[in-house]
């Protein structure tokens, strides 16, 4: 497959890109003013698999159609599976802010975790933070653009669950709310706040609330905002503005 991509990129002029019915009215002139994709987001997942070996097998079978740029194992080992500049198939359908094709805009990181009984290991989180530091510096990824799969695909995905986002936020990978929270004004619009953060409230507000709580509340992931949730949301909303 990699050889096929290489041949496609090297073809001069490009193959299969002729405009129908133009005949001789289309021609190709090469330029040096070009580049390859620059990732602007990092999306974190859990593998929902029982081992690193099982995940690698899943990502290397053509019929699964899924992959990720990196997999971080329970023991801290980092396995890269797709070049950062290429498009991995990890995000699927969803929306975050105005972005609806996260596969084309992000680096996908799968955390080796079954999503149910597994705990996040210290070695795993330490390695992840080192990886994120490298990616943030190399591609100048904004702090707000470190998100979870559930943020992008509310109602369809719930990963990573019970994830230590606060630890990451302290190192500049995403936001977290402050220890001291202020009461929001009486006219505070929670739906607008969720939308400004990036959540797709237009498709299904209940799912957007659930996704917000999977990321930032965790102890209660119901689809209703409590008074405490509103305090957290108001504090975060101001950071994303």
**What does the DSSP assignment read for 151-209?**
HHSTTT---STT--HHHHHHTTSS----SS-PPPPTT--HHHHHHHHT--TTT-HHHHH
User: Residues 105-133: what's their mean pLDDT?
Assistant: 97
The DSSP symbol for 24 reads G
Bridge partners, residue 106, by sequence: 41
- Any domain includes 217: yes
Do residue 209 and residue 103 come from a single domain?
no
User: Residues 204-228: what's their mean pLDDT?
Assistant: 97
Between 11 and 133, residue with greater pLDDT: 133
User: What is the pLDDT at residue 228?
Assistant: 97
Given a cut of 70, is residue 240 above it in pLDDT?
yes
- Which residue range forms the structural domain that includes residue 111? 41-170
User: What is the pLDDT at residue 32?
Assistant: 77
Do residue 165 and residue 213 come from a single domain?
no
User: Residues 27-38: what's their mean pLDDT?
Assistant: 81
| Separation of alpha carbons 163 and 108, rounded Å | 16
Do residue 104 and residue 51 come from a single domain?
yes
Tally of structural domains, the chain: 2
Do residue 61 and residue 165 come from a single domain?
yes
């Amino acid at each position: 497959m990699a050889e096929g991509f290489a041949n496609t990129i090297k073809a001069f002029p490009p193959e299969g890109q002729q405009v129908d019915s133009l005949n001789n009215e289309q021609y190709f002139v090469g330029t040096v003013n070009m580049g390859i994709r620059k990732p602007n987001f990092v999306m974190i997942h859990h593998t929902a698999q029982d081992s690193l070996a099982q995940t690698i097998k899943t990502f290397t079978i053509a019929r699964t159609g899924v992959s990720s740029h990196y997999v971080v194992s329970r023991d801290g080992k980092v396995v890269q599976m797709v070049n950062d500049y290429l498009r991995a198939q990890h995000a699927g359908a969803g929306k975050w802010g105005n972005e609806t094709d996260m596969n084309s805009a992000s680096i996908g990181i799968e955390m080796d975790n079954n999503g149910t009984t597994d705990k996040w290991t210290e070695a795993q989180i330490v390695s992840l933070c080192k990886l994120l530091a490298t990616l943030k510096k190399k591609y100048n990824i904004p702090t707000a653009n470190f998100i979870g799969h559930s943020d992008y695909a509310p109602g369809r995905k719930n990963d990573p669950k019970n994830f230590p986002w606060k630890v990451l936020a302290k190192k500049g990978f995403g936001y977290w709310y402050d220890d001291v929270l202020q009461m929001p004004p009486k006219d505070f619009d929670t739906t607008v706040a969720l939308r400004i953060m990036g959540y797709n409230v237009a498709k299904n507000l209940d799912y957007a609330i659930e996704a917000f709580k999977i990321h930032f509340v965790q102890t209660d992931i119901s689809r209703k905002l409590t008074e405490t949730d509103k305090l957290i949301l108001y504090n975060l909303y101001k950071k994303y503005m």
